[in-house]
């Protein structure tokens, strides 16, 4: 399975937390931006998406924010294989049914949507549910009119609450610090 020989769990967990620090280099010259690690609420995924679609994979996740109800996930670091991840969301063609919530950086959003459109150009059925901000001047908005792209839901501003990157600490402290999307 994994290409890496694990050390102790506490050691590997510490390394994982170090990998997911803002400014940490990712392959391809990108850096981690923890402000983008907001999690789609598990209730929306489990009560909505998983009951409607046969989702078997999550792209653009991490061991810190993937949904455990989805069997497979892809992350940005090869070492995340120790936590059950596949490395690099672009390393394999999207197949069957999946879910993605890429980094909210315009170039990353466009690249991910282009990848999904390319994956849909096959004789095999492919269905990927993506959570995207509606940034009207963003170039990826043109891809929403592609014949293989279908918008199935829109959330009005302040009605879609993500879980922040530190949502686990909020639960630990007994508070709810979920934020709302700053886009339409």
User: Tens of pLDDT along 58-90?
Assistant: 999 999 889 999 999 999 999 999 999 999 999
Q: Is 21 part of a structural domain of the chain?
A: yes
For the chain, the three-class secondary structure string (H helix, E strand, C coil) is CCCCCCCCHHHHHHHHHHHCCCCCECHHHCECCHHHCCECCHHHHHHHHHHHCCCCEEECCCCCCCCCCCCEEEECCHHHHHHCCEECCCCCCCCEEEEECCCCCHHHHHHHHHHHHHHCCCCCCEEEEECCCCCCCCHHHHHHHCCCCCCCCCCCCCCCEEECCCHHHHHHHCCCCCEECCCC
pLDDT band at 135 (very low <50, low <70, confident <90, very high): confident
Enclosing domain of residue 94:
9-180
Domains identified in the chain, total number = 1
Q: Is 36 part of a structural domain of the chain?
A: yes
Question: From CA 124, how far away is CA 98, in angstroms rounded?
Answer: 14
Q: What percent of the chain has pLDDT over 70?
A: 88
What was the pLDDT predicted at 169?
Answer: 61
Q: Is 3 part of a structural domain of the chain?
A: no
Q: Which two tokens stand for residue 183?
A: 């886009």
Bridge-based pairing of strands 161-162 and 179-180 is antiparallel
| pLDDT tens profile 103-132 | 888 999 999 999 988 888 888 888 999 988
Cβ neighbours, 10 Å, residue 60: 24
* pTM score of the predicted model: 0.83
Residues in the chain: 184
Average confidence score pLDDT of the chain: 84
Question: From CA 91, how far away is CA 74, in angstroms rounded?
Answer: 9
Q: Is 1 part of a structural domain of the chain?
A: no
pLDDT at 11 over 90: yes
Q: Is 160 part of a structural domain of the chain?
A: yes
Q: Is 119 part of a structural domain of the chain?
A: yes
């Amino acid at each position: 399975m994994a290409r890496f020989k694990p050390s102790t769990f506490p050691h590997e967990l510490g390394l994982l937390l170090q990998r997911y620090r803002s400014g940490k280099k990712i392959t391809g010259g990108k850096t981690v931006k923890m402000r983008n690690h907001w999690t789609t609420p598990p209730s929306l995924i489990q009560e909505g998406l998983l009951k409607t679609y046969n989702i078997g994979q999550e792209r653009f996740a991490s061991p810190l924010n993937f949904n455990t109800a989805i069997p497979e996930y892809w992350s940005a670091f090869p070492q995340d294989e120790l936590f059950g991840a596949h490395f690099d969301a672009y390393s394999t063609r999207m197949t069957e049914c999946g879910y993605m919530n890429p980094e909210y950086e315009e170039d990353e959003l466009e690249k991910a949507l282009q990848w999904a459109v390319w994956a849909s150009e096959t004789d095999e059925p492919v269905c990927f549910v993506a959570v995207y901000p509606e940034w009207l001047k963003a170039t990826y908005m043109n891809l929403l009119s592609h014949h293989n792209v279908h918008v199935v839901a829109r959330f009005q501003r302040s009605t879609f609450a993500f879980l922040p990157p530190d949502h686990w600490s909020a639960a630990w402290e007994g508070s709810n610090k979920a934020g709302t999307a700053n886009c339409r």
